[in-house]
Amino acid sequence: MASVSRENQEIFFSDPLFCPDCGSIFPLPGLADVVTCKACKHQKDTKEFEGIEIYSKKVFNIYKPKAKVEPVDEEDDFTEPMIDQKCSKCGHEGLTYQTRQTRSADEGQTVFYLCPSCGFQETEYS
């Protein structure tokens, strides 16, 4: 894409949004008649930018809804351990639980409780 450097000739043959001397992207045209490259100070007439549409988009945290937990039937055989504790939502006696190390190793584990009757989840940081 590059050609030999000659006086008053462009080195790079590229998109008009990029500097033909150093390849840097030009800043957006302002009120001045020329646009100056911030890297090498090459100047380009703003008329060369006419008709070019520039789009930009910023994406922040994308919302992803949590998967819903379906209530489990009483007759199902649970493979997860159970604890004799009442569900704070429906009052069902007996919750399944899982433990995970969600913080640093010198801190306690996090216990996730799940009510098999209504699907309500509780978290306990020990």
Give the model's pLDDT for residue 34. Answer: 92
Give the model's pLDDT for residue 60. Answer: 82
Cα–Cα distances in angstroms (integers) from residue 75 to residues 18, 104, 112, 115, 116, in the given order: 68, 38, 22, 14, 10
pLDDT digits (tens, 9 = 90+) for 52-110: 887 778 888 888 887 777 766 655 555 778 888 889 899 889 899 888 888 888 888 89
Percent share of the chain, pLDDT over 70: 83
**Statement: residue 39 has pLDDT above 80:** yes
Give the model's pLDDT for residue 3. Answer: 40
**Statement: residue 117 has pLDDT above 70:** yes
Q: What structural domains does the chain harbor?
A: 1-56 (no CATH), 63-126 (2.20.25.10)
The arithmetic mean of pLDDT across residues 107-125, rounded, is: 89
The arithmetic mean of pLDDT across residues 23-29, rounded, is: 85
Residue 30 CA, chain-centre distance (Å), reads: 31
Q: What is the dihedral of CA 100, 104, 109, 114, to 10 degrees?
A: -40
**Statement: residue 6 has pLDDT above 60:** no
